[in-house]
Structure formats: structure tokens, C-alpha cells
Amino acid sequence: MTFESDTPKPLARSTTQRMLGGVCGGIAEYFGIDANLVRAGAVVAAFVTGGTAILVYLALWMLLPA
């Protein structure tokens, strides 16, 4: 008999899907999507927001556990 755990998995930086800090890879692993899509979205967001997305990325880099 197996029981499924209802505890959510934590959002953390990736140790396997990392190019710079592992933030995009960690988000991709959390949502179960391709890391390259998240990276492309981050680049587009950086241009659209005028660089604010870069500050969010740096903040997540410092706050998310590895």
C-alpha cells in the first residue's frame, strides 16, 4: 500500500539544470517544463521590464536554497 504525499516540493535552485545560478532551472523543475523555455522567458522579461526582471533573478539567486 502506498500513500501519496500531499506536501508540496520546495522551490529551490537547480543543481543539474544550471547555466548561471540555477534559478531558471529550478523554476523549470518545479513546474515540470523545459529549462530553455524558462530561460527564454527570462530574457524576454528582462527586455520588456527594462531590467527589473534581472533584479528579480538576482534576488531569487540569493534567496532560494540550492
> Each residue of 31-62: pLDDT tens digit?
999 999 999 999 999 999 998 999 999 999 99
Decide which of 63 and 7 is more confident.
63
User: What's the pLDDT at 43?
Assistant: 95
Per-domain boundaries in the chain: 23-63
Q: How far is CA 52 from CA 16, 48, 49, 57, 62, in A?
A: 26, 9, 5, 9, 16
Whether residue 6 has pLDDT greater than 80: no
